[in-house]
Structures are given as structure tokens and as C-alpha cells.
Amino acid sequence: MESPKLDDIIEAWRYRTRRDSPLRMTSVCVQALRLLAKGKPVSAEQFASVSHMSLTEVSDSFSQLKDYGAEFDKEGNLVGVVLTLTPTSHQFRVNGCNLFAWCALDAVFLPALLDQPAEVKSRCPAAGVDIRLTITPEGIEAVDPPDTVVAVVIPGVTPSCQAGVKSGPQGPLCSAIHFFSSHEAASTWLVAHPGMAILSLDEAWQLAREVWVKPYG
């Protein structure tokens, strides 16, 4: 099977983002990310104060975020949407706070949306090797191991990423997107996860920049 072209992967993600993330909700999501980056749950009252929305509007927005896959605690506070307080495989340290990203691709574009550099630590699910990256709003600055790649789903192509699939760390979309220590390690993952693509870090940054950073950063 011919490997998908980067331009086609970018367009597939653009289409999914436009379809599933209305502009208003994307703005809400970015505001939520910047509050979560402080390392604490976000209450409806806090979000209303920062966003200048009414509590009714915030309640409606939180409900929509929950439908998208966002995480809330028992008190109804927002604790995760792309960036999360809940542990995942992708540790994300920003602004002195130890947080987590829902998936590897999220970790790539989050620094640009937060306008802050971040230190990322992940683990190759195939080789069991720790992966460390320094990511700034301008792109990936440092990585170890140097041959690290990213395996990504392709909306509308990957069987687990069809219309209506929720995001979230436990969902079929985010749970399949990982950093791998090498192209060879990623290739073993794709045997059991058909319809995905392996991207270099430069390609992953191009995807992140075109789909999330330029429109919303």
C-alpha cells in the first residue's frame, strides 16, 4: 500500500477539525488550555471570569466540551481537554507545572497554543524507550533519541478514526497516536494498527502548524 502524502494527511485533519470543532468552541478550548496550564482544575466561575461569558454560556460550553471528550472531576470542574491533569503516557511540563497531553500530536502543537515552551517525556510503546523533547511555540527544538518519529491516525482512513469518534486520552483516536524511538519501532505498531502513517518530527510539526497553530495559535 502506498504511503499517504503529508498534504493529504493535513487536509484530512483540517476537514475533521472544521467539521467537529466550530470556531467558537475552538476559542473556548484555547482559553481552557491556558487556564489548565496553571496546573489546577478550572471551575465554571473561573472560566466565566476570564472569558467574560455568563455562567449559562459556560455551562453550555462545558457540555459541548464534554461531548467532544473533555474530562471533568466530580465537582464539575474541567480537568482535561487536550492538556490534562490526569496522567497519560505523555508527560508535559510547562510553566513549572507537571501536566499531561492526550496524545503525542497534542504535545507537538500545545506549546504554540499556550505560547510557552514545554518539556515532553513520553515512552515508545514498541521499544520501551524513554523519549524526551523540548518543544517551543516555533517548533521542536531538541529530541532524544534523535530518530524519534510520530505515528498518527488519518481521519476518514484509519478504521478507528471515522466520523463521530470522540477525542480524549482513552478514545480510539488519541490512544493510537504515539512517539516512537525509530521508524522501525513505529512500523511494528502499524502492523496491529492499520491505516495510520509514520511522520518525522518535522512532518509532525508541519501537520500541527497547518491544522492547529496557524488557525488558532
1 within some domain:
no
Into how many domains does the chain fold? 1
122-155 per-position pLDDT tens digit: 999 999 999 999 999 999 999 999 999 999 999 8
Centroid of chain to Cα 147 = 21
Check if the beta carbon of residue 54 is closer than 8 Å to that of residue 41. no
Q: How many CB atoms lie within 10 A of CB 62?
A: 22
Tell me which residues are annotated as active site. 103, 106, 174
**CATH code, 108:** 3.30.450.410
Degrees, nearest 5: CA angle 176-94-80: 50
Q: Look up the pTM and report it.
A: 0.91
Domain residues for 23?
A: 6-216
24: three-class secondary structure by DSSP: helix
165 within some domain:
yes
Q: Residue 211 has what DSSP assignment?
A: I
Could you tell me the three cell numbers for 42? 478550572
62 within some domain:
yes
52-102 per-position pLDDT tens digit: 899 999 999 999 888 888 999 999 999 999 999 999 999 999 989 999 999
pLDDT tier at 28 (50, 70, 90 boundaries)?
Answer: confident
pLDDT for 31: 92
Residue for cell digits 487536550?
82
Mean pLDDT in residue range 164-188 = 83
